[in-house]
Amino acid sequence: MAEDEKPEEPWEHDLEDPEPFHHESAHPAHSRRRGVPALYGIMAEFDNPTALVAAARSSYEAGYRRINGYSPYPIEELDEAIGFKHTTLPLIVLIGGILGGLGGFFMQYWMAVINYPLNVGGKPLNSWPAFIPITFECTILAAATAAVLGMLALNKLPQPYHPVFNNPNFALATRDRFFLVIEANDPKFTHGEAMQFMRTLGARDVSDVEV
Amino acid sequence: MVSYAPPASIARFQRLALIVGIVFTALFVVGYFLDHDQFFHSYLFAFSFWAGIAIGSLALLMLQHLTGGGWGFVIRRVLEASTRTLPFVALLFVPIVLGAHSIYSWTHPEHVAQHPALVLKSKYLNLPFFSIRAVVYFAIWFLLTFFLNRWSKLQDTTAERQFNKRMQTLSGPGMVLLVFTVTGASIDWFMSLDPEWYSTIYGFVFVASWALSALAFVIAVMASLAKHEPMNVIVAQLHFHDLGKLLLALVMLWSYFAFSQFLIIWSANLPEEIRWYLPRTKGGWGVIAVSVIVLHFAFPFLFLLSRSLKRNAGKLVLVASLILVMRLYDLLWMIAPTWTGEHFRVSWMDVVAPIGMGGLWLAAFARSLMNRPLIPINDPQYESVLQQGQAHAGH
């Protein structure tokens, strides 16, 4: 209802464009294709991992950069084939580990030296060798937690909806089908050219993916 | 089809190792006439390092038979060659029995008589039983080595799949036997240097550290083999990545065992236990202890966290070499203070002995490495490992 009261943008009066979807797509790749639902990308479907990796490699070599592969199980070469090099995850894990280690050590230091000093066997209050096992455990705990949470955050998970689910065959990605998507927000992406290119990859099917 | 015949460079390396070995062994033998007690002390130190690489290789060989995987497949022939030096290692052990009087205080009846605990221990710690146990340890290691190498060779000639199954079946119980025998050997040969002192985790420190030095050695060998034909066809970045991960795991395992021993003894602070650490944490020995913590644990640990370092054979081999050098420091720190006490003193023989024995051992290793193709091509893993290697080599 609030939608109706909003002053409408001039392009929304385009007569060729009666679709209800159009106002969602401010992206140039979509505005060029008014009249159809907004485009997420183009998906090619393969029978085996080797074909997927080969296709990913040729897409990367053709200059596409926003490529993604989907497969039932991890394929070691795939991340390299789609030009996926670095993530910030190792850094997040390292920072988590360092903070966990420092936190674990100073928690014990604070308890043993400041909060509740107790003479154990005549040893100094700051008996650091005794703190090491718990410091180590806290390092691992924090690093592992940072790894899981950081992975979820970087993957934008949990994600109950994703455009690729619109392709009816995509359910096979958890069984025996392998998919390659060139996303529409790729700088090099134009619909016609990308479609033509993907048809040369030897896929069993190539189709649009709607948002 | 590639033949994977060993390259000629191994023969050149063998000649060099043999020359170095003979020259330094000759120098070392001169030491016997100058100070024969020190000769045997240094000899035991050198033996603890080089025997560890051969025995640790046996552990890694069985480990990779149990786990499978490309990393184990590509290093299998190097490990097998290393285990085939065990007869030579057994020969190297003989002087330790002959010089036991210079090494072990429990061989002196007048010393034993003064220490009630040693009187009780003398049923175990006496030279005949010590020698029998050594024969048993070596016999078990020989049997494991013999069958694993024989079946591997039969696999090459007959191309039958059953040999994989056999090697795998032997490796399970073999691994258990190896842990028990290495525990026994390390207690007999090294812990009994101070016969009144004891540590229950001592055997595991040696299990971990011998496996660690064997792995560091194998990484160094692979890094030089992978540069040339025929191994450059099959050995890829991802294999070094996996070996690097295993190296990190073993560095941590060794640190865990070594630190556990220290923490427990330090916490209890009992006179009969802490006396092992007191001379080893003072003066020059204390400096070595700190350098072992920094260079044997902290540096390798931090470096090996890096993914790109593990995938770079040239850099990984630097870390592996650092670990090998630090293994020598650590063994010296464990063994030598037995006789020097807290006075830091390193004999020239402690330098000459590991080089001399190392030259001879490396020559024996190179000789057995030349005997067989460097890759067991009839192994079921061959095709998939080759494909992996080529997929990576192309990029």
What is the ipTM score, two decimals?
Answer: 0.78
* Residue ranges with strand state E in chain A: 39-46, 67-70, 178-183, 205-210
Return the residue matching tokens 């988590």: A96
Q: Is A4 on the interface with B (CB under 8 A)?
A: no
Among candidates B30, B23, B25, which has minimal Cα distance to B46?
A: B25
Residue partners of B149: CB distance under 8 A and separation at least 6 = B80, B83, B84
pLDDT in tens, B90-130: 999 999 999 999 999 999 999 999 999 999 999 999 999 99
Domain extent at residue A65: 2-74+181-210
Hey, are the CB atoms on B262 and A94 less than 8 Å from each other?
no
Hey, are the CB atoms on A133 and B238 less than 8 Å from each other?
no
| CA–CA gap between residue B179 and residue B171 (Å, rounded) | 12
DSSP assigned state of B230: T
pTM of the model: 0.84
Mean pLDDT of B188-198: 95
Q: Is A129 on the interface with B (CB under 8 A)?
A: yes
Residue A90 lies in a domain: no
Q: In terms of CA atoms, which chain A residue is nearest residue B391?
A: A77
Residues of chain A with pLDDT under 50: 1-31
Number of separate domains in chain A: 1
Question: Nearest by CB to B266, which of A94, A129, A133?
Answer: A129
Residues in chain B: 395
| CA–CA gap between residue B244 and residue B80 (Å, rounded) | 20
What does the pLDDT read at residue B2? 65
Assign A25 to helix, strand or coil. coil
Read off the pLDDT band of B1 (50, 70, 90): low
The tokens of B75 are what?
């290093």
Backbone angles phi, psi at A23, to 5 degrees: -70, -10
Residue A139 lies in a domain: no
Hey, are the CB atoms on B263 and A77 less than 8 Å from each other?
no
Residue A68 lies in a domain: yes
Phi-psi region of A2 (alpha: psi -120 to 50; beta: other; left: phi over 0): alpha
